[in-house]
């Protein structure tokens, strides 16, 4: 990497964090600097997920970090957010992997699972010994997950699952997938209600394949899943899952981490652009940082990053008090990913031709953020969520 990250704090943001929060952030920052930054450009170039880092991530307590018990770190939501910030400063794809393991697999097991399911899966997932994926999205149903076609038919003491899922992070490397399906024939349950199921990926009839040719999130695994008469015991149902709202609760967990991650990606782009502009000389042997148009870009970036930091910190504080709403998380995700993508584009401008090479992280962040802006609720869907919150009128 051309420059070492120097931190980004314009208004004394660190003073708003307590000692534990700074300690967690600094530990995650050092882990990313020591382990991910040296290899991430090569991983991105090769389209390779750095699986060799998984055991170390587990040892550091990064998986299911905000869960309590079962071998999890029991961090606060702000501490977890700061970890996600540092991971996305490293790479959105690697942060996606940690988000899925934590917020989309461990969280639903913790929240909706039986004690037996929690005791079996969570300790192994906390160490990274077992990996998971989250099967909600289908090829024809992204922003409208309620239209899913995957179904789970009750057959005695089993469920038989049929359907396909698409754009599934870690799908082909997971040991277990949380599959959301419409249930039919369940005793005392109305037909078509969405529920979550734990499906081990080695069950007969379960198959996965990877999406190739990606220009974005190249350092993470993106898969499709197919279930053809996959039989699972009824005990694999997540008993607390109750309709689509349960799946959306998981998405809120993930979106919260993504909102922090956007700040991290923006920090990386801004700090790179600032250091480059102070080094690069043009016209009268002066650094380009001395030019008004470059300063305008840098001023915009640091202002928006600062606003984004304050936004996610407040949402995190509300979350730790149990006062957050999904509309708060939608605002944070919508704003911070838009902001990060704009920072990446401005940084690319400042770096000129150098901005398109992987000597610098800017173009990689830009391509990754194009996906992050779309997944876990598109920018437009989050606009409508906030719009419904302030008007009381759904516009879907």
Residue partners of 190: CB distance under 8 A and separation at least 6: none
Asked if residues 311 and 335 have their Cβ atoms less than 8 Å apart, the reply is yes
Flag whether pLDDT at 239 surpasses 80: yes
Please list the alpha-helical segments (H only) found in 32-173. Answer: 37-46, 54-59, 77-90, 92-99, 107-112, 115-127
Q: Which helix (H) or strand (E) holds 382?
A: helix 379-391
Q: Where are the domains of the chain?
A: 13-131, 133-242, 245-391
- Can you tell me the mean pLDDT for 373-385? 93
Domain 13-131: give its CATH code.
Answer: 1.10.540.10
pLDDT at 375: 92
User: In this predicted structure, what is the pLDDT of residue 128?
Assistant: 97
CB 150 within 8 A of CB 165: yes
Q: How much of the chain, in percent, has pLDDT values that exceed 90?
A: 94
State the catalytic residue, choosing from 21, 79, 304, 376.
Answer: 376
* CATH ID of 133-242, from 3.40.50.2020, 2.40.110.10, 3.30.70.360, 2.40.128.20: 2.40.110.10
Average pLDDT over residues 294-309: 98
In order, the DSSP letters of 304-346 are: HHHHHHHHHHHHHHHHHTT---HHHHHHHHHHHHHHHHHHHHH
Tens of pLDDT along 8-33?
Answer: 999 999 999 999 999 999 999 999 99
pLDDT per residue over 115-172, tens digit each?
A: 999 999 999 999 999 999 999 999 998 888 889 999 999 999 999 999 999 999 999 9
Q: How many Å apart are CA 193 and CA 183, to the nearest integer?
A: 5
CATH number for the domain whose boundaries are 245-391? 1.20.140.10
| pLDDT tens-digit series, residues 161-215 | 999 999 999 999 999 999 999 999 866 566 889 999 999 999 999 999 999 999 9
79 catalytic residue (yes or no): no
Q: What pLDDT does 188 receive?
A: 58
Whole-model pTM: value is 0.95
If 0-12 CB within 10 Å is exposed, 13-18 middle and 19+ buried, where does residue 205 land?
middle
């Amino acid at each position: 990497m051309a420059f070492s990250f120097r931190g980004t704090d314009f208004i004394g943001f660190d003073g708003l964090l307590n000692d534990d929060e700074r300690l967690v952030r600094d530990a995650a920052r050092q882990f990313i600097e020591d382990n991910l930054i040296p290899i991430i450009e090569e991983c991105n170039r090769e389209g390779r997920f750095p699986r060799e880092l998984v055991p170390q991530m587990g040892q550091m307590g990064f998986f299911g970090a905000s869960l309590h018990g079962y071998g999890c770190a029991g961090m606060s939501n702000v501490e977890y957010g700061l970890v996600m910030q540092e991971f996305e400063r490293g790479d959105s794809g690697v942060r996606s992997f940690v988000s899925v393991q934590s917020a989309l697999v461990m969280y639903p097991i913790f929240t909706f699972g039986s004690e037996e399911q929690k005791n079996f899966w969570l300790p192994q997932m906390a160490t990274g010994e077992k990996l998971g994926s989250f099967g909600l999205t289908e090829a024809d149903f992204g922003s409208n997950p309620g239209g899913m076609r995957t179904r789970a038919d009750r057959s005695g003491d089993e469920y038989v699952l049929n359907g396909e899922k698409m754009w599934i992070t870690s799908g082909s490397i997971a040991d277990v997938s949380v599959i959301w399906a419409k249930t039919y024939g369940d005793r005392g349950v109305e037909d078509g209600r969405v529920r979550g199921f734990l499906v081990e990926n080695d069950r007969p009839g379960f198959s996965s394949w990877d999406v190739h040719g990606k220009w974005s999130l190249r350092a993470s695994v993106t898969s499709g899943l197919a279930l053809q008469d996959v039989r699972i015991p009824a005990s694999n149902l997540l008993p607390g899952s109750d309709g689509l709202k349960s799946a959306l609760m998981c998405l809120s967990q993930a979106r919260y981490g993504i909102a922090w991650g956007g700040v991290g990606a923006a920090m990386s782009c801004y700090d790179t652009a600032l250091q480059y502009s102070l080094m690069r000389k043009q016209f009268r042997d002066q650094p380009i940082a001395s030019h008004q148009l470059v300063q305008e870009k840098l001023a915009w970036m640091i202002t928006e990053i600062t606003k984004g930091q304050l936004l996610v910190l407040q949402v995190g504080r509300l979350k730790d008090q149990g006062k957050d709403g999904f509309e708060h998380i939608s605002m944070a995700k919508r704003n911070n990913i838009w902001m990060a993508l704009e920072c990446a584009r401005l940084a690319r401008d400042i770096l000129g031709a150098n901005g398109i090479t992987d000597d610098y992280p800017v173009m990689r962040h830009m391509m990754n953020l194009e996906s992050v802006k779309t997944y876990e609720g598109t920018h437009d869907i989050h606009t409508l969520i906030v719009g419904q919150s302030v008007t009381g009128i759904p516009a879907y």
